[in-house]
């Protein structure tokens, strides 16, 4: 069975999070050389009976999809993490369960992230979308751009809006979910739900009984029933990192947690790297905008978190988008992945120089890191002003926000 990479997702609710803000964060641990891009798609109307091409399969499109911004491995259709215009954020975790994931091509967990964002205006709506699609199409297929072996996983999701979060854990088409409205929650690459289940697949328990995994007499504990026998639930060292914060949790706290290599939240191993990160702040007061900070580059400890706000006229950022290979893309042709094209975007290439300096040259590296953090701080302070201001947001000022930040970062690295 393929080893699931140790990604982490977090959410913190007031009063643990500061000033009536819900704070969401995710590190995406993926194969070291994989490129992630940050892409915005505007809301759109679709023709009746039209189809949408996901990573491996086509499914029926809906009449209207919401505007979304996502961070995704550049070869696939879905997303590791992202947000929509209604303040819904979703992140996906690849997990191993007692039942091996299907290698047959179906929907990937990452496709379900994007579909949930495009179709759900609240966290619960997005959850309902995901489980309905699981029931109809199933999940399966290769999680990696790898011609030599199929790495397939079951999926867990953290789905968050301004009011609540849902932890959704799936095994094939079966699922369980827990609703969170307070405190902090961390999910990673193991099943975490136990006996507090707020929604579930109608046949979940009878299926577990039919497989001989549950007697029907003991209390039903989802992760005990569905985890692999050798899975020791030690996963959330990350949870401790967040729970032990004595002060209230802010965007900066969440960024610091995502940069934590000592506890393994920020992955930098022989096979895996945190290839992209996101932090979102969702004010419970609906008149304030949600702000989403994406790196678009690997290793958050050596990256700049850059803000994005949804407005009607968002300026697209081609410099954070990978080249498009159309129908010639080896990920779309069968047999798949016979070649690996160069998917690096302009921001990624500029950042490669910075990573090399930070790793090799102590004096220049320290100076560079200081300047990068200063750039990030300016962005964070400007966003803080927007959140605390009573003035309405000027869409013309923030439509170019992410574009300008990416542009500044690239110029700075050059």
Decide if 257 contacts 239 (C-beta within 8 A): no
DSSP state of 303: S
Residue 1 lies in a domain: no
C-alpha span between 282 and 387 (Å, rounded)? 10
Residue 120 lies in a domain: yes
372-401: average pLDDT: 94
| pLDDT for res 330 | 97
Which is higher by pLDDT, 233 or 102? 102
Residue 2 lies in a domain: no
Q: What is the pLDDT of residues 266-306, one digit of tens each?
A: 999 988 999 999 999 999 999 999 999 999 999 999 999 99
- Active site residues per annotation: 9
Decide if 219 contacts 193 (C-beta within 8 A): no
Residue 387 lies in a domain: yes
Task: Report CA torsion sign: 12, 17, 20, 26.
Answer: negative
Q: What are residue 318's phi and psi, to 5 degrees?
A: -60, -25
The encoded tokens of residue 88 equal: 């819904």
Residue 195 lies in a domain: yes
Q: What is the pLDDT of residues 194-232, one digit of tens each?
A: 999 999 999 999 999 999 999 999 999 999 999 998 765
| pLDDT for res 392 | 87
Domains: count for the chain? 1
219-246: average pLDDT: 79
Decide if 100 contacts 13 (C-beta within 8 A): no
| H helical segments located in 269-398 | 346-360, 362-388, 395-398
Q: Which residues contact 74 (CB under 8 A, 6 or more apart)?
A: 34, 35, 36, 37, 322, 343, 345
Name the band, by pLDDT with cuts 50, 70 and 90, for residue 236. Answer: low
Residue holding tokens 């819900």?
A: 22
* Domain span at 59: 8-413
Q: What is the pLDDT of residues 59-103, one digit of tens each?
A: 999 999 999 999 999 999 999 999 999 999 999 999 999 999 999
| pLDDT for res 287 | 92
Average pLDDT across the chain, whole number:
94
C-alpha span between 250 and 16 (Å, rounded)? 9
Which CATH number does the domain housing residue 155 bear? 3.60.60.10
Cβ-count burial 219-233 (b if 16+ within 10 Å, e if not): ebbbbbbbbeeebee
Q: Which helix (H) or strand (E) holds 226?
A: helix 222-226
| Residue 341 C-alpha from the chain's centroid | 24
Q: What percent of the chain has pLDDT over 70?
A: 97
| Residue 68 C-alpha from the chain's centroid | 13
Across the strands, what pairs with 238?
none
Q: Which residues contact 31 (CB under 8 A, 6 or more apart)?
A: 5, 144, 145, 146, 271, 272, 273, 275
Residue 239 lies in a domain: yes
| pLDDT for res 234 | 58
Decide if 289 contacts 397 (C-beta within 8 A): no
| pLDDT for res 324 | 97
C-alpha span between 374 and 370 (Å, rounded)? 6
C-alpha span between 141 and 102 (Å, rounded)? 7
Residue 160 lies in a domain: yes
Predicted confidence (pLDDT) at residue 342 exceeds the cutoff of 80: yes
């Amino acid at each position: 069975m393929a080893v699931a990479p140790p990604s982490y997702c977090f959410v913190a609710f007031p009063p643990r999070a500061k000033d009536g803000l819900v704070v969401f964060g995710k590190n995406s641990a993926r194969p070291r050389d994989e490129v992630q891009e940050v892409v915005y798609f505007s809301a759109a109307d679709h023709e009746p009976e039209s189809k949408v091409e996901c990573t491996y399969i086509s499914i029926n499109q809906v009449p209207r999809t919401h505007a979304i911004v996502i961070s995704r491995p550049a070869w696939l259709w879905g997303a590791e993490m992202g947000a929509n215009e209604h303040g819904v954020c979703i992140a996906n975790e690849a997990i191993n369960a007692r039942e091996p994931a299907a290698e047959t091509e179906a929907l990937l967990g990452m496709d379900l992230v994007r579909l949930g964002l495009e179709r759900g205006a609240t966290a619960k709506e997005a959850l309902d979308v995901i489980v309905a699609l699981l029931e109809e199409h199933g999940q399966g297929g290769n999680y990696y751009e790898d011609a030599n072996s199929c790495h397939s996983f079951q999926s867990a999701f953290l789905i968050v809006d301004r009011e609540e979060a849902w932890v959704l854990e799936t095994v094939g088409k079966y699922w369980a979910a827990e609703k969170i409205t307070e405190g902090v929650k961390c999910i990673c690459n193991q099943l975490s739900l136990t006996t507090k289940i707020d929604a579930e697949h109608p046949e979940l328990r009878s299926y577990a009984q039919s497989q001989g995994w549950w007697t029907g007499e003991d209390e039903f504990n989802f992760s005990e029933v569905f985890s692999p026998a050798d899975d020791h639930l030690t996963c959330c060292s990350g949870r401790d990192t967040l729970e032990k914060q004595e002060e209230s949790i802010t965007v900066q706290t969440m960024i610091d947690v995502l940069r934590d290599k000592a506890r393994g939240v920020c992955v930098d191993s022989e096979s895996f790297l945190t290839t992209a990160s996101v932090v979102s702040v969702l004010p419970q007061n609906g008149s304030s905008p949600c702000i989403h900070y994406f790196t678009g580059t690997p290793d958050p400890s050596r990256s700049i978190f850059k803000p994005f706000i949804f407005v009607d006229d968002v300026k697209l950022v081609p410099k954070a988008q990978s080249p498009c290979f159309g129908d010639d893309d080896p990920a779309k042709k069968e047999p798949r992945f016979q070649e690996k094209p160069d998917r690096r975007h302009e921001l990624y290439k500029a950042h490669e120089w910075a990573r090399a300096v930070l790793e090799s040259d102590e004096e220049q590296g320290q100076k560079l890191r200081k300047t990068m953090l200063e750039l990030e701080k300016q962005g964070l302070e400007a966003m803080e002003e927007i959140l605390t201001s009573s003035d309405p947001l000027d869409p013309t000022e923030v439509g170019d926000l992410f574009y300008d930040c990416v542009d500044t970062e690239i110029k700075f690295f050059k």
